[in-house]
Amino acid sequence: MKCEDCRARSAAIYCTAAGSELEEVAQARLRVEQFEKGAMIVADEAKSAHVFTLRSGWAYRYALLGDGRRQILDFFGEGDFLTLGMLAGSRVRSAVRALTVVTVCRFARESLLAVIDRHPHLRRGVLAHLRSQQERADRRCLRLGALNAEEAVASLILEFARRSGAEDEDGDIVPFPLTLSLIADAIGITEIHAGRIVRGLERAGAIERLKGNRLRLDPDRLQARLRRVDIVAALG
């Protein structure tokens, strides 16, 4: 598992590392692991002493409520850094699960932090990571607070399309590993209503569900659903 060959490297938190620095990062790594679809990667983020770089696949972070409902707080894709383990201690208890088969690099939080601390210019990557965290948090907040169900689903689909390496040569077919139940818990509606919305988008020709958790999409028709809100806030 050479870091040099890792296609997630350019998106990783230590993306600016090279040569001996990359060697130190590899030294700090405990091991490379694989998780099955649905497996728990982190059980309680606030207490985890480990952090991960996601090499391939998708994962999601969520909180459970007293009445059993689940609120999805974030999605992680290739190159993303989970958890914000460096920020451990939050009073909002959240866990991370694999959405697809996933491979990760596991680090002890303190030793990765130590490497970054030794090499000032690695902090650029940390700042970039924090910016994208912040941006995603703002987008989620807008999606949940200001969008109706159809707009929210459209913006969620577009986010996945954008993040999964925009340009597949094959038109506009993108992987989309979410079930209706996950969509529902991400945007704060019920599974049944999520189903009606997705079906509606399909009938309108904005999306088409294909075998193997993939989606053919019509970006223009999806964007059209966001016309009401898109001008200032740049969702999608």
Interface residue list for DNA (CB under 7 A): 148-150, 179-181, 188-193, 195-196, 198-199, 202, 211
Using CB under 8 A, pick the residue from 15, 63, 173, 204 that binds a second copy.
63
Considering the complex, what minimum distance in angstroms separates the CB of residue 194 from DNA?
7
Q: Do 111 and 28 form a contact (C-beta atoms < 8 A)?
A: yes
Tokens of 169: 């040569």
SS3 of 109-173? HHHHHHHHHHCHHHHHHHHHHHHHHHHHHHHHHHHHHHCCHHHHHHHHHHHHHHHCCCCCCCCCE
Stretch that binds a second copy, among 1-9, 30-38, 126-134, 213-221 (CB under 8 A): 126-134
Considering the complex, what minimum distance in angstroms separates the CB of residue 158 from a second copy?
13
Task: Starting at the earlier edge strand, list the strands of the sheet with 173-175.
Answer: 173-175, 214-217, 207-210
Instruction: Find which of a second copy, DNA, none residue 134 binds, CB within 5 to 8 Å per kind.
Output: a second copy
What pairing do the DSSP bridges indicate for beta strands 29-35 and 102-108? antiparallel
Considering the complex, what minimum distance in angstroms separates the CB of residue 234 from DNA?
21
In one-letter notation, the amino acid at residue 27 is Q
Instruction: Find which of a second copy, DNA, none residue 32 binds, CB within 5 to 8 Å per kind.
Output: none
Closest CA to 82 of 133, 121, 117: 133
Q: Do 62 and 70 form a contact (C-beta atoms < 8 A)?
A: yes
- Please identify, using beta-carbon distances, which residue of 91 and 211 lies nearer to DNA: 211
- Based on the shown chain and the rule CB under 8 A, indicate whether residue 96 belongs to the binding site for a second copy: no
Considering the complex, what minimum distance in angstroms separates the CB of residue 61 from DNA?
18
Q: Which residue has the tokens 């200001």?
A: 146
Instruction: Find which of a second copy, DNA, none residue 1 binds, CB within 5 to 8 Å per kind.
Output: none
> What are the residues binding a second copy (CB under 8 A)?
63-67, 69, 71, 73, 84, 86-94, 117, 120, 123, 127, 130-131, 133-135, 137-142, 144-146, 186-188, 227-234
